[in-house]
Amino acid sequence: MTAAQRRNRILNELQRADAPISAATLAHALSVTRQVIVGDVALLRAQGHEIAATPRGYLIPDTAPTGLVRRMACFHSAEDTRDELNIMVDCGCTVLDVIVEHPVYGQLTAPLQLASRYDVEQFMQRMHQSDAAPLSLLTEGIHLHTLSCPGEDVWQHLRNILAERGFLLAEQDT
């Protein structure tokens, strides 16, 4: 199999997938190293293919998320990350991404695609295993999340819960 054929196969696998596929899984299926897959995905992106890297693997993002898409400003310690994300998914929302404002790079956005407690737990385990810190540490706990919620009532309910927990960034906090 040529490199071009391998990249075509990666693209086809991602287009058919209904869940993210890890680089390790793709590497095993194609009998190459994980690093070869990472390079192939970079080349596919450079060719204009929209491929997102999530904590659970690569995926081709939906062009239009379902439900009510809203963005909220949050503020909390790194230790509260799991609680914040679990509250969001427990309300039925999907956490599409996290955004921070970096002093040098500007806006940094990381896709998350977390829709369940299982997803949150996998995300937290990966952070722990790689000794990584949440992006919100770059901004002393201030960050944004883009969410897809089932409806306006769920969105308002979620905002109320996060405000009660002190996770919602209020105007008086800034």
> Helix 81-90 and helix 152-165: axis angle, to 10°?
150
Task: Report, as an integer, the average pLDDT of 124-148.
Answer: 87
The CATH number linked to 48 is 1.10.10.10
**Average pLDDT of the residues of the chain:** 89
Last-in-domain residue among 32, 59, 86:
59
Quick one: pLDDT at residue 63?
Answer: 59
Dmax of the chain from CA atoms?
A: 59
**Which of these three, 20, 37, 59, is where a domain ends?**
59
101 lies in the same domain as 43: no
66 contacts 113 by C-beta, under 8 angstroms: no
Beta partners for residue 146, in sequence order: 71, 97
Per residue in 49-77, pLDDT tens?
A: 989 887 788 988 775 667 889 999 999 88
Share of the chain above pLDDT 90, in %: 59
State whether 114 and 88 are in the same domain: yes
Nearest C-alpha neighbor of 61 from the set 45, 50, 46: 50
- In the numeric block, which tokens belong to residue 85? 């994300």
Residues 10 and 40 sit within 8 Å (Cβ to Cβ):
yes
Q: How many domains does the chain have?
A: 2
* The overall pTM is greater than 0.85: no
The answer on 124 and 53 residing in a single domain is: no
Question: Are residues 75 and 143 both part of a single domain?
Answer: yes
Domain with 121, as residue range(s), is 68-173
Could you tell me the two tokens for 8? 């075509």
Per residue in 89-131, pLDDT (tens digit) is 999 999 999 999 888 888 889 888 899 999 999 999 988 998 8
**Does position 145 have pLDDT exceeding 50, yes or no?**
yes
